Amino acid sequence: MGAVILASSLAAALAMLVQSRHEAPGLGRFFLTMPYVVFALLVPLQFPIENVVARAVTAGQYAWWSNFKIFAFCCGRGPLTHPMVDGPGVFMTILLLPFSPHRTMLPSTVGTRVARATKKPEPVEGQLAEFAAKLALKATLLSTFVFVMTKHPPQNIYFRDLVLCFALYAFLGVLEDGLGCVSATLLNNLPVERSFEKFYLSSSIREFWSKRWNQHVAKLLKCVVYEPIVEGRVLRAEHHHHHHRRPGRPSVGARVLGTLATFLASGVMHEVVFAYVTGGVVTYDWLAFFTLQGAYVLCESVLHLTLRNRWNVEVPKWIGIPITWSFLIYTGELHFFKPVRLHGIDTAFLASLAGIIKM
């Protein structure tokens, strides 16, 4: 049954690609993509509830990330509108694997230009070595964390949460840098974005979520939720080659609403993944965690602006980093790690990983 659903998903995606070339972004493209969306939602259910790792990976990749790529595509946005998507192979590689093409190659949005990207992609020939090395390092880190958590778990609950955070980083790194980026390089020689940028150096909550932690998912949330709100339109505006007046900066209200809605959407989708993994349990803790993070980001921004404008004070990194991490771990224990522990997901996940790596 699982093989049939996966095969149907691929067939639906291919049919969608062929038809969508003749369909402009909008409802027509949306209806053409619905078969894939439904199949993607069913993929995690093909694995037994005991297989926590498979459930979590497929729920994240197919029920959430892959479908968000589809939603963005229907609006003329996101990674599936990448200029290098010139055939079924590239389209399905981006759709079915957990990575994002490098943003310098993406259509510009929110009144910006492609040239505004902060970094140029490294030559693709050096990309494989970089991500293969990251894969090896993060696989080693993951094995170490699994050993520590299963054999010698920390007694302090906050230190345990910190270790689990780094274990999650290593796991997502194996998934995205390995399955995603290495495969994308080997299969289609695509320039890919880094998902993590030294997240442990985050000196603010905003920096952690917007620049350093799991940028593959952050960018999907941005193009599906944030950009339509701040632009005031669902469909991406067509870019003309004529000299039109450049759109102004989105209003403060639009940016505040976009930020809150983005974190709310993240919370909803994390709850969906939680339900897949637990067999239908919904606690609303993950929804609360991510929704509140949006509010925290806004409050932090107001605080930093006040310090800068009123007293000309910039918070130095050596102060910002420990404050940020203390806050993230404390709020994470309240709403993120506690439900994981109460429902036994952490022990089941670690046991499943230990079995995979033969520890």
Average pLDDT, 10 consecutive residues per value, the chain (359 residues):
63 66 85 88 93 96 96 94 83 89 56 42 70 91 92 93 95 90 84 91 97 96 97 78 56 96 98 97 97 98 95 94 98 97 94 80
The full set of domain ranges for the chain reads 104-356
Q: CA 254, 221, 300: angle at the middle one, nearest 5?
A: 55
- For residue 91, the model assigns a pLDDT of 86
pLDDT tens per residue, range 45-69: 999 999 999 999 999 999 999 999 9
pLDDT of residue 231: 94
Q: How far is 271 from 331, CA to CA, in rounded Å?
A: 17
User: What's the rounded Cα separation, in Å, for the pair 304 and 314?
Assistant: 7
pLDDT computed for residue 111 by the predictor: 41
CB 298 within 8 A of CB 256: yes
Position 110 scores a pLDDT of 42
For residue 286, the SS3 value is helix
pLDDT of residue 240: 39
Secondary structure (3-state) at 284: coil
- Kind and range of the H or E element at 197? none
Contact yes or no for 59/359 (Cβ under 8 A):
no
pLDDT, residue 122, reads 52
Q: What is the DSSP string of 63-114?
A: IIIIHHHHHHHHTT-SGGG-TT--SHHHHHHHHHSS--B-GGGSPP-TT--G
SS3 192: strand
Each residue's pLDDT tens digit, 75-99: 999 999 988 887 778 888 899 999 9
